[in-house]
């Protein structure tokens, strides 16, 4: 079977909304090309060694790519996608491009975007298909995103991992909301969490997260469930982590505060810098005290604590 690769150029703050539109239409995976990722990945590396070329994306824009089977349903899917894109709250209209890929090209196209990367002091993210010899003390996470969001290369994920490494307390319960590939859930377990409940509404993400937990030998610590945000939460926890978008994190903040123990930390990411003050206000309004604000490029992450009353 051949596949149609569809690329949508959107404002950075709308990237994950655009990715969600693809997922709702049953796309075979989503890749977000953020120029900030290429700049970081290429630092100190000769251009001829870059895994992928730096795409010509205007400042403040990202390219969101996904894949549809070339079948009778394609026309309807593309029409639906076009209509949904026009309803996004965009200052600049999204630009759509498409090309046909053969089966073997589709299966491997997205793998070119990932390589072994180091994050924080100890964390190493290793794609499952690459070899890597770890240094002593490294926390190595082997990932196959399975076409689900999150392989460590995007700044929103990297910021979360840095905050997890700093604030996670060993032996506690963690909720990972919108788990995607499960990378933050796996990292939490490897950093010492006794139990991690990873939640996602997308069945493809649930499947990928479970496979990645098994691949990293933490399936006994990580429970992956299909659900909406914190609805599956049954117990209070020492940490909630959510790498989503500002429009979700803002209303999620009171629920995150409610499910945290005293001294628990809410890590939130996926926040475009222009929305960071709104998120900070929502965190404070939920009774959380901001411990740290990290930024990389256009993306911001917060660590906020629930202090004793």
Give the pLDDT band of residue 57 (cuts 50, 70, 90). Answer: low
- At residue 111, the pLDDT reads 66
Taking all residues of the chain, what is their mean pLDDT, rounded to a whole number?
Answer: 83
The mean pLDDT value for 126-139 works out to: 82
Give the pLDDT band of residue 256 (cuts 50, 70, 90). Answer: very high
The mean pLDDT value for 7-25 works out to: 81
All domains of the chain in start order, with CATH? 3-113 (3.30.70.120), 143-306 (3.40.50.150)
Helix (H, G, I), strand (E, B) or coil at 220: coil
The residue to which tokens 């991992």 are assigned: 161
Give CA–CA dist 114/18, Å, rounded.
21
- At residue 266, the pLDDT reads 98
Strand (E) or helix (H) holding 41: helix 35-42
The mean pLDDT value for 276-293 works out to: 96
- pLDDT exceeds 90 at position 268: yes
- At residue 307, the pLDDT reads 87
Distances (CA, A) of 85 to 73, 116, 155, 271: 18, 33, 24, 20
Give the pLDDT band of residue 50 (cuts 50, 70, 90). Answer: very low
Give the pLDDT band of residue 257 (cuts 50, 70, 90). Answer: very high
- At residue 210, the pLDDT reads 93
Give CA–CA dist 28/238, Å, rounded.
35
Give the pLDDT band of residue 148 (cuts 50, 70, 90). Answer: very low
The mean pLDDT value for 101-128 works out to: 74
CA-based nearest residue to 70, from 96, 105, 108, 95: 105
Give the number of other CB atoms < 10 A from CB of residue 227. Answer: 15
Residues 212 and 182 sit within 8 Å (Cβ to Cβ): yes
Give the pLDDT band of residue 201 (cuts 50, 70, 90). Answer: confident
- pLDDT exceeds 90 at position 219: yes
Distances (CA, A) of 262 to 94, 196, 231: 44, 18, 20
- Give the residue with greater pLDDT, 224 vs 156: 224
Give CA–CA dist 114/126, Å, rounded.
9
């Amino acid at each position: 079977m051949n596949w149609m690769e569809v690329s949508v150029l959107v404002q950075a703050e709308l990237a994950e909304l655009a990715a969600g539109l693809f997922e709702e239409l049953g796309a075979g995976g989503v890749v977000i090309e953020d120029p900030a990722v290429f700049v970081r990945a290429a630092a100190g590396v000769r251009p001829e060694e870059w895994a992928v070329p730096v795409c010509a994306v205007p400042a403040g824009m990202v390219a969101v790519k996904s894949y549809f089977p070339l079948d009778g349903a394609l026309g309807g899917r593309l029409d639906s996608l076009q209509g949904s894109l026009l309803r996004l709250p965009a200052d600049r209209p999204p630009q759509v491009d498409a090309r046909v890929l053969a089966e073997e090209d589709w299966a491997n196209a997205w793998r070119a975007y990932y390589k072994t990367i180091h994050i924080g002091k100890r964390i190493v993210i290793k794609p499952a298909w690459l070899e890597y010899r770890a240094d002593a003390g490294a926390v190595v996470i082997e990932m196959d995103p399975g076409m689900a969001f999150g392989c460590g290369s995007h700044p929103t994920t990297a910021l979360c991992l840095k905050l997890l490494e700093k604030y996670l307390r060993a032996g506690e319960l963690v909720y990972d909301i919108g788990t995607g590939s499960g990378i933050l859930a796996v990292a939490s377990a490897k950093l010492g969490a006794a139990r991690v409940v990873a939640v996602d509404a997308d069945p493809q993400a649930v499947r990928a997260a479970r496979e990645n937990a098994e691949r990293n030998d933490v399936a006994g610590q990580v429970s992956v469930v299909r659900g909406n945000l914190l609805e599956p939460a049954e117990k209070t926890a020492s940490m909630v982590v959510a790498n989503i978008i500002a429009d979700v994190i803002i209303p999620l903040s009171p629920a995150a505060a409610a499910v945290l123990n005293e001294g628990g930390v809410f890590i939130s990411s996926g926040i475009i810098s222009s929305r960071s003050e709104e998120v900070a206000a929502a965190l404070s309004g939920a009774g959380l005290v901001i411990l740290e604000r990290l930024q990389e490029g256009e993306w911001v992450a917060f660590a906020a604590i629930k202090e004793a009353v």
